[in-house]
Structure 1
Amino acid sequence: MFYGATIWDPCLIVTQIVCLQCLYYLTLGVLLSILVGSHLSRMSLVYFFDYAALTTSTVTGWCVIVSFLLSSLAGSVYMLYLIERSKKCLDFSATLYIIHLFICIIYGGWPASITWWVVYGTCIAAMTCLGERLCMIRELRDITIPRHRTSKKCLTLDDTFPSFFVKPKQLSPLDDTSYMIVILFLLGWQGYRPLIEVWNQ
């Protein structure tokens, strides 16, 4: 989508980061609503940004973990369309989760749970590896070049006549005469009289 020349464009980079971050949180919100919302009567931002919500001791905690993992996989698909470069997937994945880390610190303090860090690292690795793989498949895809018909104004003499009309370099006098008769018969005498002068030179 945003693929273009490899130049430094801060506006483009910021736009890609914002779009990827928004799509990630949108997907995470949908997954949390489906997996966690079915076990709770009310959803809150705790399940987004509080490290204590990622725990393996409860069913709700496992649902939160699965939601984060699935969101990372969805993020790799988003990078396929937003980033489109395999060598940039690690940068954008790390940026996304660094921003998420800052938000988590502001919301609930420094994450002190080992489970949170394991899930956090797994999400970064999954999003990066799958994103690079998908982008690499697109980069290695064969490029189809459309064939357009040549404009009549750009045609040259070589394009106008088929290859079998070209005079061979070595022909016997009999073959030479027969070849000329065939050309005149196919092309017409009046319209291509200058060819005779070129031929005799």
Structure 2
Amino acid sequence: MGAVSLNSFTTALIMWKIVRRAKQCLDFAVTLMLVFLLVCLVYGGLPWLLSWWLTHLASTGITALTAEYLCMRTELAAIPLSAGSLART
């Protein structure tokens, strides 16, 4: 589970840089999970272990929540206004 958790946080950082929108993070995380499941189906068949499903569902949740948190912090950051732009208005 440790490597999967590290992968979740790494994927969240990458999604934060690429997606930049908190509303889209869940969609991208689930899409990545479905693509991974498709690759698993092609190469090894359907995973039957409950632990595999629980681990990867938890990984998807960690990825989505962390990426949403990072994106929200970026979206809600204060927009700096220079003194010159305030004087013109």
Distance in structure 1 (CA, Å) of the matches to 2:82 and 2:25: 30
Match of 2:62 in 1: 126
The amino acid across from 1:87 in the alignment is K
The residue type equivalent to 1:135 in the other structure is C
Structure 1 residue aligned with 2:39: 103
Q: Aligned equivalents of 2:4 and 2:18: distance in 1?
A: 20
Q: Which residue of 2 aligns with 1:89?
A: 25
- Whether 2:8 is the aligned partner of 1:67: answer no
Answer yes or no: is the 8 Å Cα contact 1:73–1:130 preserved in 2.
Answer: yes
Per the TM alignment, residue 67 of structure 1 is displaced from its structure 2 partner at its CA by 1.3
Larger relative contact order (C-alpha < 8 A, sep ≥ 6)?
Answer: 2
- Given candidates 74, 77, 86, the residue that maps to 2:13 is 77
Q: CA RMSD in A?
A: 1.4
Bigger proportion of residues as helix: 2
Contact 1:73 1:127 in 2 (8 A): yes
- AA paired with 2:17? Y
Specify the code of the residue in structure 2 equivalent to 1:125: G
Per-residue deviation, residues 99-148 of structure 1 (Å, max 9, x unmatched)? 00000011110010011001010001000011111110111110013455
Tell me the equivalent position of 2:77. 141
Q: What TM-score comes out, normalization by structure 2 length?
A: 0.88
Corresponding residue of 2:50 = 114
- Structure 2 distance, partners of 1:143, 1:132, is 20
For residues 83 and 39 of structure 2, the distance between their equivalents in structure 1, rounded to whole angstroms, comes to 52
Structure 1 CA distance, aligned partners of 2:15 and 2:32?
11
| Structure 2 unmatched runs, 5+ | none
Question: What is the one-letter code of the residue matched to 2:62?
Answer: A
Q: Is the 8 A contact 1:69 1:119 kept in 2?
A: no
Identical columns (%): 31
Structure whose CA Rg is larger: 1
Moved over 6 A (4+): none
Count of residue pairs brought into register by the alignment: 85
